[in-house]
Amino acid sequence: METSGGRRVGRPRAVQRPDSGLTPRAELLTAAAELFTTRGYAATTTRAVAERAGMRQASMYHYVSGKEELLAELLESTVTPSLTYARRLLADDTRAAEERLRELCRTDVELLCGGSHNLGGLYLLPEVRTERFAGFHAVRGELKDAYRQLIAATVSGGALAKSALDLRTDLVFGLIEGVILVHRSDPDRSVSEFARATADAALRIVGD
Amino acid sequence: METSGGRRVGRPRAVQRPDSGLTPRAELLTAAAELFTTRGYAATTTRAVAERAGMRQASMYHYVSGKEELLAELLESTVTPSLTYARRLLADDTRAAEERLRELCRTDVELLCGGSHNLGGLYLLPEVRTERFAGFHAVRGELKDAYRQLIAATVSGGALAKSALDLRTDLVFGLIEGVILVHRSDPDRSVSEFARATADAALRIVGD
């Protein structure tokens, strides 16, 4: 029910928001992160995301194709910075592999625990198993492979047969991603302290 | 649209199923486990659960109060057997704490990986944070406390201050629950081998 005759100025907004300085796409991602992690992915409508981002549902489709694209991009955002950093560490052969592995673990835990929403919690959605999220799985697989290469370059890891190396990699990667399940239990603890302790634990898993 | 006049014999069944030998409640739990983990919790209707279990939606409410009760019971089923076993291990002071901790880790991983559905994947649902699931959180907290007590009884763990002990406990518990996130990556690997390796890794985290 709109007043006829009048002309709107600018992008129509269902809800007025203070100017966040974000692009519309970034506003949509922020809104989706909040709603997916608090209400749940399936229970969140594209309309709710659009409204939280201060725009109408129809306008949203100028910026994203829908809910799945938002979820895929949020998931990739939990992995891509770690992968970029892992590649830099892999290329740096001036430092011991143990030291570089420790730094990757620490950085990865800080990334997983440090955001304002527990995006890692979205990893286990059944929807994420579908083909639409192949990009996320590929990037996550590359990150795991970077862990494997760094572990293989350590003194203990270099002595392992392939299947033992794979197992060791899964355990270290499981420890790191496991922080998604535990860090909520003590939200007052310093993330950097927790990240350092997790990295120490990862190195203990690798060594024997 | 039912045929009037006729009288039904027995419990009305929307879908005929071969007799599974399960109680109706157990059939509902089995159906819910499958649907929640494959379609997602929010996307699963009580009607779909009832039909999968071979009964009408209305009949379902003779056995359970609804979807939340099914989810709560499935979640508790991932923790309760481990807690029972942990209590037995805690009481058994004829064996070294290290050995008992190793056995708890191994058993817990076998339980988390061994079921036909990845129920651990339901831990991260936003719905699970609500008061309705306080029972699950309480049992999970008790299991974590049993880990803490066993770790404190080890030689290395006994030397730790309270905050360091809490951190070590979170890391071990995170490693164990982290298997939820990794064991799907290599479904052909033997669960018992993976469980043994995870228990070894947990002991390495505890020792220093």
Beta-carbon separation of A208 and B204 below 8 A: yes
Contacts of B180 in chain A (CB under 8 A): 124, 181
- pLDDT reported for residue A2: 42
Beta-carbon separation of A182 and B174 below 8 A: yes
Do A55 and A85 belong to one domain?
Answer: no
Do A35 and A92 belong to one domain?
Answer: no
Last residue of a domain, one of B67, B93, B121: B67
Do B109 and B133 belong to one domain?
Answer: yes
Q: Report yes or no: A89 and A9 within 8 Å, Cβ to Cβ.
A: no
Do B99 and B45 belong to one domain?
Answer: no
State the best of B37, B105, B167 to mutate against chain A, taking most chain A CBs within 10 Å.
Answer: B167
Average pLDDT over residues B147-161: 96
> Whose CA is closest to B101, among B208, B189, B176?
B176
> Is B182 within a domain?
yes
Provide the pLDDT confidence category of residue B24 given band limits of 50, 70 and 90.
Answer: very high
Do B200 and B104 belong to one domain?
Answer: yes
What tens digit of pLDDT does each residue of B121-132 get? Answer: 888 888 888 889
> Is A14 within a domain?
no
Contacts of B37 in chain A (CB under 8 A): 126
Which CATH number covers residue B189? 1.10.357.10
- Rounded Cα distance between A164 and A171, Å, is 11
When CB atoms are compared, the residue of A37, A178, A186 closest to B178 is A178
Q: Report yes or no: A21 and A14 within 8 Å, Cβ to Cβ.
A: no
Segments forming the whole domain that contains residue B92: 78-206
Question: How close, in Å, is residue A3 to chain B by CA atoms?
Answer: 38
Domain total of chain A? 2
Q: Report yes or no: A55 and A24 within 8 Å, Cβ to Cβ.
A: yes
> Is B11 within a domain?
no
- Rounded Cα distance between B28 and B44, Å, is 13
> Whose CA is closest to B208, among A185, A194, A197, A99?
A197
Do B148 and B181 belong to one domain?
Answer: yes
* Alpha helices (runs of H) in chain B, residue ranges in sequence order: 24-38, 46-52, 57-60, 67-77, 80-91, 97-114, 134-153, 155-158, 162-182, 191-206
Do A118 and A196 belong to one domain?
Answer: yes
> Is B15 within a domain?
no
What tens digit of pLDDT does each residue of A6-58 get? Answer: 444 555 555 555 567 889 999 999 999 999 998 989 889 999 999 999 999 99
Q: Can you tell me the ipTM of this complex?
A: 0.82
The residues of B whose Cβ lies within 8 A of any Cβ of A are 37-43, 118, 121-127, 144, 166-168, 170-171, 173-182, 185-186, 189, 193-194, 197-198, 201, 204-205, 207-208
Beta-carbon separation of B124 and A39 below 8 A: no
- Rounded Cα distance between B174 and A163, Å, is 23
The residue of chain A with its CA nearest to that of B198 is A171
Q: Report yes or no: A122 and A37 within 8 Å, Cβ to Cβ.
A: yes
Beta-carbon separation of B126 and A39 below 8 A: yes
Do A66 and A102 belong to one domain?
Answer: no
Average pLDDT over residues B137-164: 96
Tokens matching residue B116 = 């036909």
Beta-carbon separation of A38 and B126 below 8 A: yes
> Is A16 within a domain?
no
Do B95 and B169 belong to one domain?
Answer: yes
Do B115 and B52 belong to one domain?
Answer: no
Q: What is the mean pLDDT of chain B?
A: 88
- pLDDT reported for residue A208: 59
Which CATH number covers residue B42? 1.10.10.60
The answer to whether residue A191 scores a pLDDT higher than 70 is yes
The residue of chain A with its CA nearest to that of B191 is A167
What tens digit of pLDDT does each residue of B49-102 get? Answer: 999 999 999 999 999 999 999 999 999 999 999 999 999 999 999 999 999 999
> Is B100 within a domain?
yes
